[in-house]
Amino acid sequence: MKTWNDCVAFHGHECGGLTIGYKASLYAIELLNLEFSADEQVVCISENDACGVDAVQVMLGCSIGKGNLLFHIRGKQAFSFYNRKTDKSVRLVLKPRPEGMTKAESFAYYQGCKPEEMFDVKETTIRLPEKARLFDSYVCDCCGETTGANWIRLSGGKKLCLDCYESYDRFDV
């Protein structure tokens, strides 16, 4: 099993945010009987793009490239974890910390907390996404760059990537 030191090495430094993701991962492992995800067995939907996400990657093997780390940005320190093997899931939401702490005090506080002291355990509100799809690729007729079929638009008989395509919306003129 990966450790705190592995998370720090990946992230580059120790901080309270990394601690939040580390403790959320440990709690999810306990609650859902998770193991490191070699493929898409474990899924995490993070409601933030902060430091803690790095710990989730290290501890659980969730990554953007594998398609099992997704972002539903809401600015919340909240993570939904899914176990595809058991169809169980949990949403962990960070509880408020005492006010008026310095950065160093906040780090020490989170380091000293048990995961169950840090997070409210809730039901997931987002259904488990399907496994990542593979798409055919097409060359954009304008810029010549290869783009996945899901991101190609047809315009004037040409296949255009989203960067070259000009959308049409009569209300945003």
Q: Residue range 5-18: average pLDDT?
A: 98
Model confidence at 31, pLDDT cuts 50, 70, 90, reads very high
Report pLDDT digits (tens) over 106-158.
Answer: 999 999 999 999 999 999 999 998 888 888 999 999 999 999 999 999 999 99
Q: pTM for this structure?
A: 0.85
Q: Residue range 81-95: average pLDDT?
A: 97
What are the tokens at 2? 């990966």
pLDDT at 172 over 90: no
Whole-angstrom Cα distance, residue 161 to residue 102? Answer: 47
What are the tokens at 49? 């793009």
Q: Residue range 52-68: average pLDDT?
A: 97
Domains of the chain (ranges plus CATH)?
4-122 (3.30.1330.130), 133-173 (3.30.60)
Chain mean pLDDT for the chain: 95
Question: In this predicted structure, what is the pLDDT of residue 129?
Answer: 87
Question: In this predicted structure, what is the pLDDT of residue 1?
Answer: 84
Model confidence at 74, pLDDT cuts 50, 70, 90, reads very high
Q: Residue range 82-98: average pLDDT?
A: 97
Whole-angstrom Cα distance, residue 30 to residue 118? Answer: 14
pLDDT at 9 over 90: yes
E-strand spans in the chain?
42-46, 69-71, 78-83, 88-94, 119-122, 137-139, 146-148, 152-155, 158-161
